[in-house]
Structure 1
Amino acid sequence: MFTDYNDKTKDLLARLDAFLETHIYPLEQEMLTWTAAHPWQVHPAIEGLKAKARAAGLWNLFLPEDYGHFSPGLTNLEYAPLAERMGRVLWASEIFNCSAPDTGNMEVLARYGTARQQSEWLMPLLAGEIRSAFLMTEPGVASSDATNIETSIVRDGDDYLINGRKWWSTGAMHPDCRIFVVMGKTDPAAPRHQQQSMILVPRDTPGVEIVRPLEAFGSYDSPAGHAEIQLTNVRVPADHLLLGEGRGFEIAQGRLGPGRIHHCMRLIGAAQRSLELMCQRVDARVAFGQSLGKFSSIRQDVARSRCDIEQARLLTLSAADCIDRHGIKAAQDLVGMIKIVAPSMATAVIDRAIQAHGGLGASSDLPLYAFWAYARSIRLADGPDEVHMYQLGRNTIARYAATAGV
C-alpha cells in the first residue's frame, strides 16, 4: 500500500515530526499575531529556523533531481507524506525551502533552465537566499483558459520587450523576492498552444510596477503575499527566455503536475490536523449534560471526515506514484482528480472542525480559519474545479466511448 512508506521516508517523517514539535508548533500562534502587525516583513526567527532545518537534512525535500547537498533526490511518492506533515502549519513549508511558488519555479529551472539561468537563479533559490514569484493570471481575461493570456513578449534585437498586467502573483510581495517567471505570448498567430512562452524577469527591472497587494479572504498572506503587477516595456536579454519560443504550455505541464501533488498533500495535512483538533474539542467540551463527542451528529462528522481524508490521501499518493513510474502525461487524469477532490475535501473537513469549536473555531486563537481560507483558495489556484472536471469528464467519455460494443 502507498502508506507503507519506505525506510527513507519513515526516517525523514520522524525527523520532520520532531522538528515541528520542537520548533514550529510553539511559534505558530506568535507567528500569526506578528505577521498581522508587521506586513511584508519576515519574522526574526525564520532565518534561524531555516538554518536548523538545513543542518538537520530537512532541506529542498521536494526536488526529485539530485542536486548534491541541495536535495536528497526524493521521488514524488516519497515526498508526498512529508508535504502532508508541513501542511499542518501554513508557513512550515518555507522553513524547509519547500513553499510555493518557489518549488515550482525551482523545478522549472532545474528541468528547463540553461546552465547560466541555473547558476544565476536556481542555485540562490535552492540555497534559500532569495524568493521568487510566478506571473500567469491576468485581471482582464479568464485565465482559467491560459490561451487567453494577453501579456506580450516581443523580440527586439538581443532583448525581449514585455507588456501586460498580472495579478494573484503569489510571492511577489516578499522582501526577498528577486525573480519572476512570467508567462505571455510571443506569437499570437501560432497554433493555439504554441503562442505562449515563459521568461525570467528580475524583480528590479525597469518597467516592473507593483500596483497593489491583494487580499485573499481578508488576509494579505504576509510576507509572501499576492500582487497585482503592471509590466510596461520591461526589457530583458533574449537569453532570459526559458526553453524557447512557444514552449510555455510544455513548461507549464511539467511545472503544475508535481505542484498539484504538493498542494493537495499540504491540504490533507491541514485537514488531518483539523480533524485531530475537532476530536480533542468534542471529547473535552460538555453541552446539555454530556460531552459533544457523544452526540450522534458529531460522531457522524468525525467519521465522515476521517473517510474523506483517507480517500483523498490515497488518491493523491496514487497520482504521485503514477508520475514517478509513468510520467506526468500518463498521470494527467489522476492529477485532475486530486485537484478536484482534495481542496473540496479539506474545505468541508475544516468547516466541520470550525463548527465543532463554536466561536473559538472562527477566531485567530486556532489555525482553522486560515486553513479554510487556504483550502478555498486552492479550489481556484492551478486551475479552478470546473476546468479540471471538464477535462476529466472529456477524457473519461473518450476512454469508455472507444470501448463501446467490446
Structure 2
Amino acid sequence: MDFAFGEEDEAFRTEARSWLAGHAGSGWERRAWERVLGKAGWIGLGWGEDGYGNRTATLTQQVVWAEEYARSGAPPRSGHIGEKLLAPTLLAHGSAEQKARFLPPIASGEELWCQGYSEPEAGSDLAGIRTRAERAPDGSYRVTGQKIWTSLAHEADWCFVLARTDPDSRRHHGLGFLLVPMDQPGRVEVRPIRQLTGTSDFNEVFFDGVHARAEHLVGGEGAGWTVAMSLLGFERGVSTLAQQIGFAAELARVVREAVDRGAVADPVVRDRLVRQWAELRVMRWHALRTLGGTGDAGAPSVAKLLWGGWHQRLGELAVQIRGAAGGAGPEDWTPSAPYALDETQRMFLFSRADTIYGGSDQVQRTIIAERVLGLPREPKGGV
C-alpha cells in the first residue's frame, strides 16, 4: 500500500492542527475534554459510512489526526479504551442493537470504558481466568470475580469483561465477552493501585454478583475468546503511530540532555542514541506496513516487542546520561507523593512495565514462534 499523504490528507491535517491549537489547552477535566472532542466529531474516525454521528475519515486521515493530536500536547485521553478497543470490536462482532446502543455514547464522549481481562492468576496466560458469569432465572448474567491492572476503572461507566459462562469449561473454551455497567453500588468495588511513579491509573476491580443483561453478551455463548483476541488486534492500530510521536519527543529530550551534559563525548552513549533513533524509524515503517494490510499474523506481536523493549532501553539510557543526578530526591516528600519526579524519571520508572503489560515479551515470542514460524507448541504444566 502506498502510504503517502495526498492533498486531501494535508487539508485534513491543517483542519486538525487548527482545531487542536484552539481547543487543546491545559486545564480540561478529562471527562469534559472527551465531550468536547465528541461534539467536534473527532471521536470514531474511520468507523465506516454509518459513522454513528461522527465524521468519516480515510486510514491516512486517521493517521494524520493521531499524529497531530500527539504533537499538540492535548490532554491524555480517557475515552480511548472505548473508541480504539471496544468500538471496532462491536463493529466486527456486535449485533445491530449493541452497535446502536453503545457506539453513539462513545462517539459523543458521554460514556467511558475500561477493560476487564487480567486477573491475579491469569495475566499473561489470559486463558486461565476464573471470573464467572452465571445465568440468572431471568436469563441475565451474574458476574463474580476479580480483575487487576484495569486502566481507568475509577473513571469508567462500563467495563467489557471476559468471564467464564460455562462452569465446566477449561482454558479458551466456555468464555463470554460481556458489557457490564460499573454503577452497581455494593456489587462493584474499585481499588486504585499506586505505581512507582506515584500515580494510580491502574486498579483492582471486584465483582460480587454484578448484573449484566443477556443482550449485552457480544458474539454469543462460548465466543468470548474469539472476540477477546480480535479486540487485542485492534489495540495496535493507528494509535501506535501516535505513540511513536510521543516516543520521538522523549528521545529528543534525552538527546538534548546528553548534549548539555557532555555525555555525547562517550562513544557508547552516541552509539546507543543512534540505535534508538534507527529503531524508532523501524517501528514506524512496521506500523505503516501493518496498517497497509501487508503484515502477517504475527505483526501485532512484533510491534509490541519493538516498542516495549525500545521504550525501556530509552529510560535506562536517560538515567545513565544523568548519572547520580538521575535519582529521585526526598525534598518534596508528602504522604501521597513520597518523592518528586520529573518527566525523565517518570518515563524510566513507568517503562519498567512496558515489556509486561499489553502482553508480555515471553507471550509475544511464543505467539510468533507457534503461529508464524510453525514451531511446536510450548508444553503446558511444566516438565
Residue number in structure 2 paired with 1:40: none
Correspondence 1:246 to 2:211: no
Which of 106, 131, 147 aligns to 2:127? It is: 147
Instruction: Say whether the 8 Å CA contact 1:196–1:246 is kept in structure 2.
Output: yes
Instruction: Say whether the 8 Å CA contact 1:152–1:185 is kept in structure 2.
Output: yes
Q: Deviations over 1:59-115 (max 9, x none)?
A: 33364665154242433x6534643554568874528x5x23542122223333334
Correspondence 1:67 to 2:46: no
Residue number in structure 2 paired with 1:181: 160
Correspondence 1:336 to 2:315: no
d(CA) in 2 for partners of 1:231 and 1:309?
Answer: 41
Correspondence 1:319 to 2:290: yes
Name the CA shift for 1:66/1:258 in 2 (closer, same or farther; >3 Å). Answer: farther
Residue number in structure 1 paired with 2:336: none
Residue number in structure 2 paired with 1:31: none
Residue number in structure 1 paired with 2:317: 352
d(CA) in 1 for partners of 2:119 and 2:11?
Answer: 42
SS at match of 2:371: helix
Correspondence 1:205 to 2:178: no
Q: Deviations over 1:202-261 (max 9, x none)?
A: 11135533241112333334xxx2221111122232112112111111211221112123
Instruction: Say whether the 8 Å CA contact 1:267–1:346 is kept in structure 2.
Output: no
Q: Deviations over 1:149-205 (max 9, x none)?
A: 01111222321121111111112101xx21111110112445743311111111113
Mark the runs of 5 or more structure 1 residues left unpaired by the alignment. Answer: 28-42, 401-406
1:7-406 matched pairs, under 5 angstroms: 7-17=7-17, 24=24, 27=26, 44=28, 46=30, 49-50=33-34, 53=37, 58-61=42-45, 63=47, 66-67=50-51, 69-75=53-59, 79-80=62-63, 82-84=65-67, 86-87=69-70, 92-94=75-77, 97=79, 99-100=80-81, 102-139=83-120, 141-157=121-137, 158-174=139-155, 177-190=156-169, 192-205=171-184, 207-221=186-200, 225-262=201-238, 264-283=240-259, 285=260, 291-322=262-293, 331-356=296-321, 359=325, 366-398=342-374
Name the CA shift for 1:58/1:102 in 2 (closer, same or farther; >3 Å). Answer: closer
d(CA) in 1 for partners of 2:17 and 2:267?
Answer: 33
Q: CA deviation at 1:337?
A: 0.6
d(CA) in 1 for partners of 2:233 and 2:73?
Answer: 21
Q: Which letter maps to 1:4?
A: A
Name the CA shift for 1:266/1:348 in 2 (closer, same or farther; >3 Å). Answer: farther
RMSD: 3.4
Instruction: Say whether the 8 Å CA contact 2:283–2:306 is kept in structure 1.
Output: yes
d(CA) in 2 for partners of 1:50 and 1:236?
Answer: 26
Name the CA shift for 1:278/1:390 in 2 (closer, same or farther; >3 Å). Answer: same
d(CA) in 2 for partners of 1:71 and 1:378?
Answer: 33
Point out the more displaced range, 62-71 or 209-218.
62-71
d(CA) in 1 for partners of 2:66 and 2:210?
Answer: 36
Residue number in structure 2 paired with 1:37: none
Instruction: Say whether the 8 Å CA contact 1:181–1:199 is kept in structure 2.
Output: yes
SS at match of 1:268: helix
Percent identity of paired positions between Structure 1 and Structure 2:
21
SS at match of 1:261: coil
Q: TM-score, normalised by structure 2?
A: 0.80
Q: CA deviation at 1:270?
A: 2.4
d(CA) in 1 for partners of 2:61 and 2:108?
Answer: 22
Point out the more displaced range, 255-264 or 10-19.
10-19
Q: Which letter maps to 1:333?
A: G
Instruction: Say whether the 8 Å CA contact 2:113–2:158 is kept in structure 1.
Output: yes
Q: CA deviation at 1:349?
A: 2.4
Name the CA shift for 1:216/1:122 in 2 (closer, same or farther; >3 Å). Answer: farther
Higher percent of residues as helix: 1
Name the CA shift for 1:306/1:44 in 2 (closer, same or farther; >3 Å). Answer: closer
d(CA) in 2 for partners of 1:331 and 1:173?
Answer: 36
Name the CA shift for 1:66/1:335 in 2 (closer, same or farther; >3 Å). Answer: farther
Q: CA deviation at 1:11?
A: 3.9
d(CA) in 2 for partners of 1:375 and 1:167?
Answer: 19
Q: CA deviation at 1:51?
A: 6.0
Name the CA shift for 1:386/1:3 in 2 (closer, same or farther; >3 Å). Answer: same
Instruction: Say whether the 8 Å CA contact 2:305–2:361 is kept in structure 1.
Output: yes
Instruction: Say whether the 8 Å CA contact 1:264–1:342 is kept in structure 2.
Output: no
Mark the runs of 5 or more structure 2 residues left unpaired by the alignment. Answer: 330-339, 377-383
Q: Which letter maps to 2:5?
A: Y
Q: Point out which structure has higher relative CO (alpha carbons under 8 A, 6+ apart).
A: 1
SS at match of 2:123: coil
d(CA) in 2 for partners of 1:399 and 1:64?
Answer: 38
